[in-house]
Structure 1
Amino acid sequence: MEDKCPICQGENHCGNSLPKTHGSCWCTNKVFTEEVFREIPEEQLYKKCICEKCLACITTKK
Structure 2
Amino acid sequence: MKLVVETNPLTCPFCHQANYCSNNENRACWCFNTKVPQELIELLPNSVINKSCICSKCVDNFRESPSLFKSTYSPQ
- In the alignment, residue 34 of structure 1 is paired with which amino acid? Q
Instruction: Calculate percent identity across the aligned residue pairs.
Output: 31
| Deviating 4+ runs (over 3 angstroms) | none
Give the aligned residue type for 2:13: P
Is 1:43 paired with 2:47? Answer: yes
Q: Which segments of 5 or more consecutive residues in structure 2 lack a partner in the other structure?
A: 1-7, 67-76
Shift in Å at residue 32 of structure 1? 1.7
Aligned letter for 1:36?
A: L
Match of 2:12 among 5, 17, 24: 5
TM-score (norm 1): 0.75
Structure 1 alignment gaps of length 5 or more: none
CA root-mean-square deviation: 2.0
Counterpart amino acid of residue 5 in structure 1: C
After TM superposition, list the pairs within 5 Å mapping 1:1-40 onto structure 2.
2-18=9-25, 20=27, 24-40=28-44
Q: How many positions carry a matched residue from both structures?
A: 59
